[in-house]
Amino acid sequence: MISYGLKISKKGKDARTATGRDLIYNSEENYLFIQKEGLILRSAVTTAIPHGLTYFPTGMLWGDNTSQEYFKANIGDANAPVGLDMTIDNYEANLTHSGSAEGNQLYYIIFNDPVSYG
């Protein structure tokens, strides 16, 4: 068993011996946690979200159309009634929703992990 940290098993599994997917969480392993998240109402095609990190993080974006159907970025106008894109640099994330309706909802997350060129 690990000698420090936190280990949580699935119900019915022994946390002292469980491995892999039988563990809900094991602090010896790596997970992406969400450094920043938000739910915004679209007021412009592109919304800039400063992430406050000093490096390039990763993230994800979902947004809806006028029927409150949610898509995951990136997706183009060609195949859905919503165009969603997310770009990230070392200062901010830019969320683009090219749909025509004001008030569409966007849910974004920015992970803690830095991208690298290794």
Partner 1 sequence: MDNYGLKILKRNKPITAIDPRDIQFTSSKNFLRFHKKLRGSIATDGSGNGSLLLNHGLKYPPPFFSFIKATAEKPDDAGTTVANAWFSSEGEEHAWYFGGKDFSNEGSFNSKTTSEVLQLVVAGNTINSSFETTGLIFINPIQYFSGKGVTPISDYGLKVSRSEKDVFLENIYNTVFNSVNKPPRLVKTGTKKIALSAYSTLDGEDVQTVDVEHGLGYAPFFIVYVRGTDIDGNIWRIEPRISLGPVDDIVGSYEAFVTNNIIRFSCWRWAKDEGFFGQVTWDAEDVYFRYYLFDEPLNAD
Can residue 16 be called a binding residue for partner 1 (CB under 8 A)? no
Can residue 98 be called a binding residue for partner 1 (CB under 8 A)? no
Contacts 24+ apart (CB under 8 A), 85-92: 85/61, 86/59, 86/60, 86/61, 88/51, 88/56, 88/57, 88/58, 88/59, 89/56, 90/53, 90/54, 90/55, 90/56, 91/50, 91/51, 92/48, 92/49, 92/50, 92/51
| Binding letters toward partner 1, positions 19-38, x by CB under 8 A | -xx-xxxxx-xxxxxxx-x-
Can residue 60 be called a binding residue for partner 1 (CB under 8 A)? yes
Can residue 39 be called a binding residue for partner 1 (CB under 8 A)? yes
In the complex, which residues of this chain contact partner 1 (CB under 8 A)? 4-6, 8, 10-11, 20-21, 23-27, 29-35, 37, 39, 53, 55-56, 58, 60-62, 64, 68-76, 78-80, 85-89, 94, 105, 107, 109, 112-118
